[in-house]
A = this chain, B = another copy of it.
């Protein structure tokens, strides 16, 4: 994949106003925080900084769309009908990628995949997937128990940060008796669990 042909900076200039208009001021602040975090993590991990920053900026573009709009998109794109059993928390990434593509004109498959996976993760994540997954969790506006440990891990080892975030997310969901999307479990089994040990 050669990123040289895509001018991510020019795309940012073109879409940034549309992103800000699609969400609350607070969420736009979060988006700018994730952009900054993914750029920093990209630099640390030898990835494309502009590509990672753009993924960070637009990852929550669809977050404030109505349930009806997500359901319509699930039908329009003929996505797995099991998605209809879920909610905004899953939809804004897994389905949100199609709003980013259709309305912001971003077609880079690596960015669209990272948006798709930014909440649930995946058993096999690309470097960009991980940058956005972790960047979303540790950006400077985040305040929750464990965020400092997550930030420290991300400075040292991106896979350890993925593992920590996944475990924390699962524990939080269980503590709240919230439903857990199967792909979140697949991420746990791939990045946290010691699979081969004798149970």
Contacts and interface: CB of A to CB of B under 8 A. Distances in A.
Contact of A193 (B180, B182, B186): B180
Contacts of A171: 171, 174
A88 B198 contact: yes
A118 to B, nearest CB: 15
B167 A192 contact: no
Interface in A52-102: 85, 87-89
Chain copies in complex:
2
A177 B198 contact: no
A188 interface: yes
A185 interface: yes
A189 interface: yes
A191 to B, nearest CB: 10
A110 interface: no
A15 to B, nearest CB: 27
B179 A189 contact: yes
Contacts of A167: 174, 177
B179 A87 contact: no
B170 A193 contact: no
A17 interface: no
Interface string A107-124: 000000000000000000
Interface of A: 85, 87-89, 167, 170-171, 174, 177-180, 182, 185-186, 188-189, 192-195, 197-199
9 contacts: A87-B199, A89-B199, A171-B174, A174-B188, A178-B194, A178-B199, A179-B194, A180-B189, A182-B185
